[in-house]
Amino acid sequence: MVNFLVRRIAAMIVMLMITTFVAYNLLNLAPGGPLAELLQQQQNNTNRLDPGAYDRIMQRYEFDIYLMPRYTRWLIGWPNGPINLFGQEMFGGTQVGCLREGRTILKYPDGREVVSDCESPVFLNDLKGRAVSNGILRLDFGTSQGILRGRPVSELLNSRIGLTMLLQGLSSLIALIIAVPLGVITAVRQYSKLDYVTTAIAFLGSSLPTLFWGLMGLMFLTQPLKEAGLPYFPPGTLSSNFAETVPILGTIKPESPLDYLWHVALPVSILAFVSLSGWIRFIRASVLEVLKQDYVRTARAKGLTERLVIVKHAVRNALIPFITLVVTILPGLVSGAIITEQIFSLPGVGNLLVGAIYGADYSVAMAILLISVFLTLIAYILADILYTVADPRIRLR
């Protein structure tokens, strides 16, 4: 077990570095962003900018630094100036970027003249004193450049992650509580009325996206129910601006625990419905497959009760492939409710990620992506450990 965990953790670190490098490069190479918007404004003459505006945006987003040193600055906070060896600054004249492109002749202090395609190069000396984070390896995600300019990314995440974890945690718990027993029952009672009804509903729920069910919830479970004098759900946001009277629930005061619960009830229900729809079908198929195995027939032939056969022999083995699906709840706790948060205007991490991408706030977007990747890799390790719990025959070596 220990050797297995050591190998998996080492592989996880390598995979994390590769994934972050690819994601960072793709995000920075994506079209659009602040520079494209600035050039569009200049072409359309919609906004007069001073000549230094382009340079300031280049430096603000560190677009004047080449991609590889920019990535290492984000990862470990280096390079942040000349290399200091034995009290001496070295390699200060090493070029690490280009502020403005254009063919020119560069004259170095030692008298050398070099023809370059960069009119205004950036050297290690130019990075001295420039603001830089300590690197994400030291849990410093840098500062926001768009959503809350100059504020630490960690503050943004802390203010949003609680709501997303609440949405995903509650919906996943509800889905598990309903999906596991219902999937087992429909498999044991195959072709019964319950099986037909449950399978039809599960198929409908898993075949249509969360966006569809969210819009249906807003259309039919909010204002129409309110106009009919029935208990209804709020159309969005996280809390009310004023006290509201809801049938059965009574008067709900703004920003009270009941108010928050009332506002997240519909998003949680939609997320739970979509999750359990897929899980019910998966569990049903797994149990049906196990019930056909010889060891189940042998257990019945020995005279064991049907309940013991199902619980001890069938369900336990059927849950092994289901474990792989369940562990995906872990990365979903951070960014698994993007569409739902957008529909209901909930200030969660998913909504933050969309805003960061549209607003070219790369520090925020990369922080969320990094956490999601890390939790995904942790989930895979957790799945391997849970396999041994579900089936003692499995050994980790």
Q: What is the pLDDT of residue 104?
A: 74
- 154-390 CATH: 1.10.3720.10
For the whole prediction, is pTM greater than 0.85? yes
pLDDT value, residue 106:
67
Angle at CA of residue 341, ends 223 and 215, nearest 5°: 40
Q: Mean pLDDT for each consecutive 10-residue tract of the chain (397 residues)?
A: 84 92 85 69 62 82 91 92 85 89 72 78 91 90 88 92 93 94 93 95 92 94 92 90 90 93 95 94 92 88 88 83 85 85 92 88 92 92 84 68
Place of tokens 């030692």: 110
Q: Which sequence spans correspond to the domains of the chain?
A: 61-140, 154-390
